[in-house]
């Protein structure tokens, strides 16, 4: 593929050619996932510029001292550093934060350029970042965003994984996932409450309000996947989680997201049955492959109450197929096409086992990693005669009513690095919303069971009106010195009005508008206009290139009156997009919320 002329449409790409060599910068071998790239050849062909990698491990600076000219730029720098902290990131040497290949910066050379630019950015300047590379600084306003980020975006007809991978291999783009490339990742906690809320809804609908006495089976223990076993135990259930990389199981046990690692399958099932009988929340990690283990559960008629999955299935290069781990990882390096064929084969087997477990009586739900979509590409029938998936995604099945109220994953991080700042904000949160029993239960469980990894942070689900109210309270805590430094406020891109993803957040929309991507574009534009401190727009997060468009926003509570005005606008605008989107799609709950809370929708009486 020539990069100097108009691109050939994606289906006709020759992916064997490469115009870039990076033999001077070999890929490190210290991680089992090192070298995950390389669609047309070895991973070392992807330019990473390891000579620019800092001599000291990257970790977020703590405390009140500034290296940048504003707290907004300093916050962006610290959150970028936090994304890469080895305690937080998935594959540090390759700048991969989570989600298979979600990067914080394109390579180490561009990371250094971003850092230098943030340190010199004037209070009325904005840095432009194109797929992990700083490409410009423009004069704007003090209340304008300090950083604007676009990651992985391609013209729709060219927006395929293969076309993206070729550009990525040449060093022209990077995959930003959702919060990796927008610098607001806070480790597994980031999706933990959403997972907790989902499983609480499963418990309410199917198990009389609790998962006690039930067994949930899932797979994947990457950066985000550890949320599932902990969320199950927070709802008092037993969880069996399967992961092919033994080191990841051990890591999640160390971090507290998994209670115990089983010796083998028989030991795992024995533990699950024991804690089910005791009606005690407990999670068991098993080193193995879901495509192998799930059929074994079926063969043994093992009683599974809930089955889901959170492996990295969105990109075939990130899904580990069945077989000897060392051999399949070597295959990924030597023969990517064969690796992807085997990955798809395993995905089909994995997805069929979920369908079979559902037929055997389990509650099955897709947790948004596009496993069903990939299995469908592999020839498996995953839809009924009406075109509906044989087992539902978690959003249409359990979460969409929350989206209709403008609710979603609202998060904050303490730039001081002091966990006491988060605990002070926890207290303010419970004082502000004393009637919210689910929120109180979440905060109490999070304080008891969720470790702080990297910069101390918290997440909770707040809705329209609540986010703005609480953002002003956080700003006031900063102004009064009750927390030791400014607080970064952001959210996941998985939110009520920031994403179009037909196999996840916008699956099965009431009006059929699942694939309409205008909404996340409007979300990004509206947050810029309202005064967010950095705004991002990505392609493919969670479900793979070409399958989603999504936007992120971050704003920093600095304690000033001027920032209070920005917080009020941004934290009203952002969840308001969820009300607009769902009211427009015909959801009566969203329309009711809009009328009750004074959300202005043109054309309404």
> Is 598 known to sit in a ligand binding site?
no
Residue 451: what pLDDT? 85
Report the helix count and the strand count for the chain, using DSSP H and E: 19, 17
pLDDT greater than 70 at residue 27 = no
Taking the C-alpha atoms of residue 449 and residue 441, their distance in angstroms, rounded to an integer, is 12
Mean pLDDT of the chain: 91
The two tokens of residue 58 are 């990257």
Domain 188-392 has CATH 2.60.40.2470: no
> Is 538 known to sit in a ligand binding site?
no
Task: Read off the pLDDT of residues 567-602 as tens digits, 9 standing for 90 and up.
Answer: 999 999 999 999 999 999 999 999 999 999 999 999
Report the catalytic residues: 460
Query: Could you give the 3-state DSSP secondary structure of residue 459?
Result: strand
Give the pTM.
0.86
Burial 87-126 (b: 16+ CB within 10 A, else e): ebbbbbbbbbbbbbbbbbbbbbbbbbbbbebbeebeeebb
Region 56-61 average pLDDT = 97
> Is 98 known to sit in a ligand binding site?
no
> Is 367 known to sit in a ligand binding site?
yes
Residue 223: what pLDDT? 67
> Is 65 known to sit in a ligand binding site?
no
Region 367-384 average pLDDT = 93
Torsion (CA) 590, 592, 595, 599 in degrees, nearest 10: -10
Residue 449: what pLDDT? 85
Q: Please give the residue that has the higher pLDDT: either 422 or 3.
A: 422
Matching residue, tokens 């000033």: 560
> Is 290 known to sit in a ligand binding site?
yes
> Is 312 known to sit in a ligand binding site?
yes
Task: Read off the pLDDT of residues 152-203 as tens digits, 9 standing for 90 and up.
Answer: 999 999 999 999 999 999 999 999 999 999 999 998 788 888 899 899 999 9
DSSP state of 58: P
The Cβ of residue 281 has, within 10 Å, a number of other Cβ atoms equal to: 22
Region 287-294 average pLDDT = 98
pLDDT greater than 90 at residue 391 = yes
Burial class (CB in 10 A: 0-12, 13-18, 19+), 323: middle
């Amino acid at each position: 593929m020539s990069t100097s002329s108009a691109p050939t449409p994606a289906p006709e790409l020759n992916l064997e050619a490469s115009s870039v060599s990076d033999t001077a910068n070999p890929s490190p071998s210290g991680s089992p996932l090192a070298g995950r790239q390389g669609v047309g050849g070895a991973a070392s062909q992807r330019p990473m510029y390891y000579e620019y990698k800092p001599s000291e491990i990257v970790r977020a600076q703590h405390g009140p001292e500034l290296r940048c000219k504003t707290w907004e730029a300093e916050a962006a720098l610290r959150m970028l550093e936090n994304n890469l902290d080895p305690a937080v990131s998935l594959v540090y040497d390759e700048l991969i934060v989570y989600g298979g290949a979600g990067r914080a910066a394109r390579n180490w050379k561009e990371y250094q350029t971003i850092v230098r630019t943030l340190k010199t950015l004037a209070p009325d300047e904005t840095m432009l970042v194109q797929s992990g590379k700083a490409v410009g600084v423009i004069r704007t306003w003090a209340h304008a965003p300090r950083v604007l980020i676009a990651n992985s975006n391609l013209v729709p007809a060219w927006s395929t994984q293969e076309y993206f991978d070729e550009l990525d291999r040449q060093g022209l783009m990077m995959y930003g996932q959702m919060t990796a490339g927008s610098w607001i990742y806070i480790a597994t906690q980031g999706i933990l409450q959403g997972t907790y809320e989902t499983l609480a809804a499963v418990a309410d609908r199917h198990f009389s309000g609790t998962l006690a006495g039930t067994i949930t089976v899932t797979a994947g223990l990457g950066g985000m996947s550890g949320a599932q076993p902990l969320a199950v135990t927070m709802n008092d259930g037993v969880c069996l989680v399967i992961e092919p990389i033994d080191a990841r199981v051990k890591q999640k046990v160390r971090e507290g997201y998994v209670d115990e690692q089983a010796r083998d399958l028989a030991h795992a099932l024995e533990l699950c049955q024991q804690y089910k009988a005791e009606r005690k929340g407990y999670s068991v990690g098993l080193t193995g492959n879901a495509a192998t283990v799930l059929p074994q559960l079926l063969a043994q008629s093992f009683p599974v109450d809930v089955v889901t999955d959170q492996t990295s299935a969105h990109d075939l290069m990130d899904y580990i197929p069945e077989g000897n781990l060392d051999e399949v990882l070597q295959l990924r390096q030597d023969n990517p096409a064969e690796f992807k064929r085997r990955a798809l084969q395993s995905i089909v087997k994995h997805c069929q086992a979920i369908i079979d477990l559902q037929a055997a009586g389990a509650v099955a739900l897709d947790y948004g990693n596009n496993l069903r979509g990939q299995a469908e590409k592999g020839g498996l029938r995953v839809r009924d005669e009406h075109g509906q998936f044989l087992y539902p995604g978690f959003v249409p099945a359990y979460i969409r009513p929350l989206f209709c109220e403008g609710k979603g994953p609202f998060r904050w991080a303490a730039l001081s690095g002091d966990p006491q700042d988060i605990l002070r904000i926890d207290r303010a949160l419970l004082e502000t919303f004393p009637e919210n029993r689910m929120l109180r239960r979440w905060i109490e469980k999070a304080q008891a069971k969720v470790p702080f990894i990297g910069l101390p942070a918290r997440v909770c689900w707040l809705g329209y009106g609540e986010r703005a109210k609480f953002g002003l309270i956080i700003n006031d805590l900063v102004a009064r010195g009750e927390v030791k430094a400014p607080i970064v406020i952001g959210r996941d891109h998985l939110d009520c009005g920031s994403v179009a993803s037909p196999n996840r957040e916008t699956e099965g929309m009431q009006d059929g508008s699942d694939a309409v991507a205008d909404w996340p574009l409007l979300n990004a534009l509206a947050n810029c206009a309202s005064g967010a401190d950095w705004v991002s727009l990505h392609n493919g997060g969670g479900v793979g290139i070409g399958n989603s468009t999504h936007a992120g926003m971050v704003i920093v509570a600095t304690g000033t009156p001027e920032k209070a005005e920005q917080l009020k606008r941004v934290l009203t605008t952002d969840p308001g997009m969820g009300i607009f989107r769902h009211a427009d799609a015909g959801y009566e709950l969203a329309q009711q919320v809009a009328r009750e809370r004074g959300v202005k929708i043109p054309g309404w009486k």
